[in-house]
Structure 1
Amino acid sequence: MNMTRRNGLTALAMHGALIAYTLVALFPVFVIVINSFKERKAIFRAPLALPDSESFSLIGFQTVMSQGDFPLYFQNSMIVTVGSLFFILLFGAMAAYALSEYRFRGNRLLGLYMALGIMIPIRIGTVAILEMMVAAGLVNSLWALILVYTAQGLPLAIFILSEFMRQVSADLKDAGRIDGLSEYTIFLRLVLPLVRPAMATVAVFNMIPIWNDLWFPLILTPAEHVKTLTLGSQIFIGQYVTNWNAVLAALSMAIIPVLVLYAIFSRQLIRGLTSGAVK
Structure 2
Amino acid sequence: MKRRSHVGTYIVLTVAAIVSALPNLLVLVGSLRPNTEIVANPTGLPTSLYLGNYARAWEEGSIGIYFVNSLIVTLVSLALALVLFLPAAYALGRWQFRFAGLVQALFLIGLMIPLKIGILPLVQMYDQWRLIDNLGGLILVYTAQTAPLMILILSTFYRQLPDTLEAAAMIDGASPFRTFFSVMTPLMTPAIAASVILSIGPIWNDFFMPLVLLRNEENFTIPVGFSSFFGEYGVDRGMLFAGIVIAVAPVVIFFALAMRQIVGGLTAGIEK
2:219 is aligned with 1:216: no
Q: In structure 1, the residue corresponding to 2:255 is in which secondary structure?
A: helix
Q: In structure 2, the residue corresponding to 1:251 is in which secondary structure?
A: helix
Corresponding residue number in structure 1 for 2:228: 235
**Residues 74, 228 of structure 1: 8 Å contact kept:** yes
Q: Report the Cα offset of residue 222 of structure 1.
A: 2.5
**Residues 241, 247 of structure 1: 8 Å contact kept:** no
2:34 is aligned with 1:39: yes
Matches within 5 A, 1:4-153: 22=17, 24-43=19-38, 51-53=46-48, 56-153=49-146
Please report the TM-score for the alignment, with normalisation by the length of structure 1. 0.86
Q: Report the Cα offset of residue 84 of structure 1.
A: 0.9
Q: In structure 1, the residue corresponding to 2:46 is in which secondary structure?
A: coil
Question: Cα RMSD over matched residues?
Answer: 2.9
Change (3 A) 1:273 1:232: same
Q: Which runs of 5+ in 2 are unaligned?
A: none
**Counterpart residue identity of residue 232, structure 1:** G
Q: Report the Cα offset of residue 158 of structure 1.
A: 0.7
Q: In structure 2, the residue corresponding to 1:103 is in which secondary structure?
A: coil
**Pick from 169, 193, 204: which aligns with 2:197?**
204
* CA displacement, residues 31-88 of structure 1 (integer Å, 9 cap, x when unaligned): 21121111235436665665343xx323423432342322111111001001111122
What is the identity percentage for the equivalent residue pairs of Structure 1 and Structure 2? 35
**Residues 176, 186 of structure 1: 8 Å contact kept:** yes
Please report the TM-score for the alignment, with normalisation by the length of structure 2. 0.88
**Residues 81, 211 of structure 1: 8 Å contact kept:** yes
Change (3 A) 1:17 1:70: same
Corresponding residue number in structure 2 for 1:157: 150
117-126 or 88-97, which deviates more: 88-97
**Residues 229, 236 of structure 2: 8 Å contact kept:** no
* CA displacement, residues 226-275 of structure 1 (integer Å, 9 cap, x when unaligned): 11011111332356843221221222222222212222322211111222
CA distance in 1, matches of 2:181, 2:45: 49
Q: Which runs of 5+ in 1 are unaligned?
A: 1-8
Aligned length: 272
Corresponding residue number in structure 2 for 1:4: none
**Counterpart residue identity of residue 203, structure 1:** V
